[in-house]
Structure 1
């Protein structure tokens, strides 16, 4: 790396040692002659003149290293022009910029390109006052255009030298020739040497140059003037907005600490801005202005400004004061306020957060547990008071079709209740008498003499649910298996029908069942009947069964009274049933 730096330094010194044979450049004829008006902006580039150039200058800093400029004064001395941001003229890119151009700037300017030593450009400039040039119009270099409006741009100084013959004007923007391109810049036209903009865009900002030729007898002079286009918006009609602090902002601090209060405010566009950000300290007695900053919003959408007020050491008095940030423009003002508060002890603050967190977690756990255990009760409560009645307008005749198999005669007396007794007596007694549902029982609702298979399928289609009382004998009975398969097919065709599987006894599914029936038995949940003589064993069973039944708002009086605790109602129904059964067995 060090070797590379030494090589670069040697090459630079070698180039400088040649220091451009300026004598030869002075002896060559003038490449281009300019007439210019004093007190205007002006620019010339280190390029040999072309008939119709597409670029007249370039901003790139690469040229600043390659191009060297010289000036030959009226007394014949040659002066090398150095790069200085405050000098006039200024070297920028491959061009020499005058701001403003003065009469004393008249003379010969030479430029040599380091990259191409043989390239030498000899430029002659004559600067005259407006009076000598017979200028009558306004030749200001800066022009402000309202965005979204149409306008035209005249070439400044075009009215000068009226006794000379003028060629047509060529326009350049930021050094590049302007052409009519409807795609990249719609609404742009040339009219009588003017640049017409049918619609002004934000991107129209820039430095515009107009070039034309003056013919004085046999001599030709190039005339060049600059106009800087600045796109503006109409002045705001709204006061500024304080973005921070918003309303009243409370800061926790410690006494004695250093503090910076930052105020952010958005101002709308103003051409002649008289805007400011002000800081006030408000006490119980008065309000005092302690700091002020002037701002000048220039963005088309406005501009956001920040200002910081510093407290080197916070005291007890600062805790009682209010620190007000006021943003003001010609339309009005808005404010924001800081209040200082002593920082809470971290230990107490942490303990408070910990207690709140533990309390919240316990509340969530207890609430989740309650919902888990009382989920069915909550759903039943919601269904009764808020849910829509499913049975209204569905053209169904039955709330549920009940399918069961007659038990093995040899095992009737072994259980306190068999599936036939459960299906024909207990289900109607609870679901119909207590909850107002209408069940379809084969022995009661299907007339004999018809086609059994058609009657079953039609009845299933007219039902909202299909209740299957599953036992070992259920899978041995052909009629039961047909009803199960028919119910599965009907459910697959009609999505409004649902299956309710009641596991009355434990059973083993036979392998011969159809695949879709096996899948249904595996997927659907089962409501399990507890085989017990206890009156409270199946309280949860009846709640789950009611949960799976359709929503219906015609349930019985007893069920209404015990909506959230159906236990009392079910116990009463179950006791009645067992008393009846005990009486029948005693007679036997």
Structure 2
């Protein structure tokens, strides 16, 4: 009577066509049940049978130089396509019989290459080897010792690594691959090709080793708990599902690792309360260092559960760690009161934003009037404003009858106008540079005729920009009296427009002293406090209409000013 163990549960043995391979009888995979030497002594003989692919009839194997039996192995030197199918190994004597089947697949080079995702055709699964960083390892081709027993001469071993070159850290010595110093980029598949002679035939087989790097062995290997931290507090809510998360870090180490929760010193499996359960999952693996997570689930959390002791623990062969979880009950916030409070705050913020958006200039002027610094007490300048403009009738009339009058008479600034304040016979260039240096602001009135090449206005603009860039003792203000075509701007004017704000004169809309133009201009001008009835920053200037003056009046005013201030003219020498 023969006892049939059926087909071995393992996957089919895969071999490459034209290469050496062998089949090991699965009956001897458990030495405590069957041992080849003991079986021989007990009078049991090993027989092999073959059921070719697509057939049902088993046939005894006829041994030859290509198919041979060596102890518990059946050798195929080399394997051919006719060898695939089912193989049965049977131990029998006169009174008993035991047999087991296994399956063999023979792959062509095309099937073993792209079909197995290898760049080199290999049928056998790669052997995994781990090497710690900054350490070395000697790799020997797998199954080389088995082949050496069958070869008529010393096998020849050749190593190959796709798209890699050997260097001082990796070299081949006496058929072995030596990695002297493991680095991250040395992780790869390494192929070894073995060739040997048997019965006058040249035979070969191929193996592959998957080399990966792990953390250095000199580093501590005791596991640790990453979460919860020492001061972490879990906030829980009654009558809900509570999740307590624990994350452990396990440095690379051969052997088992464990992460678990205990409640009052008992594991979840030991608790009789079915409300408690846990789930474990791997989080990350980084060069052999593994991060694992365990989540304790508590259904329908009750007040009594707050008094229990919850502990998360981790352990490996080098040690263990434990951390106690701290729980506190979540306080219910008054949702109605909180919602009303947030609504009021939001409304106030919107109101304040609207007020600032509409009255930002007034607020800025108010702030300057209280906290600003009068520059007359911090520098040695003589003039507050130097006005630069195109020497044309309309621009000159705007400067003398509007800008000068308001700045001097209404706002209390000292204004310098070259055509009015310079003395005849002087050098225009030197006097222009002197006036600009002695002023706190350069007010540039832009119009289509401004800053023509070789004009005095261009000289004044350059002097102002240089003073602003070098020492910061002068600030330039751009006032657009009439629109300019950008292609007509000179390089200095483009540079000034990018760096400075532009205040636009809008004709009749800007006549009121409380208009946007004058408020915006006063922000750029030096701060002045009310003195003896002279207007200050905010609220000191009564609303009035600026009356236009004709050119005759402006010229008269110019002559009158000059006659009223003879002492100032004499001081210019």
TM-score, normalised with respect to structure 2: 0.52
Mapped to 2, the partners of 1:331 and 1:382 lie a distance apart of 69
* SS state at 2:265 partner: strand
Mapped to 2, the partners of 1:392 and 1:290 lie a distance apart of 78
* SS state at 2:160 partner: coil
Which residue of 1 is the match for residue 14 of structure 2?
Answer: none
The alpha-carbon deviation at position 317 of structure 1 amounts to 0.7
1:147 correspondence with 2:129: no
Preserved contact between residue 223 and residue 320 of structure 2 (Cα < 8 Å): yes
Which residue of 1 is the match for residue 246 of structure 2?
Answer: 263
Structure 1's unaligned 5+ residue stretches are 1-14, 50-62, 84-90, 96-113, 115-140, 172-176, 282-286, 409-417, 504-508, 575-588
Equivalent of residue 279 in structure 1, options 243, 261, 265 = 261
Which residue of 2 is the match for residue 402 of structure 1?
Answer: 387
The alpha-carbon deviation at position 303 of structure 1 amounts to 1.0
Which residue of 2 is the match for residue 427 of structure 1?
Answer: 407
Mapped to 2, the partners of 1:276 and 1:460 lie a distance apart of 81
Which residue of 1 is the match for residue 559 of structure 2?
Answer: none
Equivalent of residue 70 in structure 1, options 68, 82, 87 = 87
Shift of the 31–336 alpha-carbon distance from structure 1 to 2, 3 Å rule, reads: same
1:373-417 Cα shifts (integer Å, max 9, x gaps): 453366565899799x99999x998653236899x9xxxxxxxxx
Tell me how many residue pairs correspond in the alignment.
438
Preserved contact between residue 46 and residue 94 of structure 1 (Cα < 8 Å): no
Preserved contact between residue 280 and residue 288 of structure 1 (Cα < 8 Å): yes
Which residue of 1 is the match for residue 422 of structure 2?
Answer: 446
Which residue of 2 is the match for residue 526 of structure 1?
Answer: 504
Counting only pairs closer than 5 Å after superposition, residues 450-465 of structure 1 correspond to structure 2 as 465=441
Preserved contact between residue 132 and residue 182 of structure 2 (Cα < 8 Å): yes
Shift of the 201–390 alpha-carbon distance from structure 1 to 2, 3 Å rule, reads: farther
Preserved contact between residue 169 and residue 211 of structure 1 (Cα < 8 Å): yes
The alpha-carbon deviation at position 325 of structure 1 amounts to 2.5
Shift of the 399–239 alpha-carbon distance from structure 1 to 2, 3 Å rule, reads: farther
Structure 2's unaligned 5+ residue stretches are 1-51, 112-126, 270-277, 469-474, 546-573
Which residue of 2 is the match for residue 81 of structure 1?
Answer: 101
* SS state at 2:348 partner: helix
Shift of the 18–567 alpha-carbon distance from structure 1 to 2, 3 Å rule, reads: closer
Shift of the 157–493 alpha-carbon distance from structure 1 to 2, 3 Å rule, reads: same
Shift of the 326–514 alpha-carbon distance from structure 1 to 2, 3 Å rule, reads: closer
Mapped to 2, the partners of 1:533 and 1:157 lie a distance apart of 101
Shift of the 29–70 alpha-carbon distance from structure 1 to 2, 3 Å rule, reads: same
Mapped to 2, the partners of 1:44 and 1:231 lie a distance apart of 35
Mapped to 2, the partners of 1:70 and 1:166 lie a distance apart of 27
Preserved contact between residue 136 and residue 182 of structure 2 (Cα < 8 Å): yes
* SS state at 1:266 partner: strand
Equivalent of residue 265 in structure 2, options 273, 288, 292 = 288
The alpha-carbon deviation at position 167 of structure 1 amounts to 3.7
1:192 correspondence with 2:155: no
1:183 correspondence with 2:164: yes
TM-score, normalised with respect to structure 1: 0.51
1:358 correspondence with 2:334: no
Mapped to 1, the partners of 2:444 and 2:353 lie a distance apart of 33
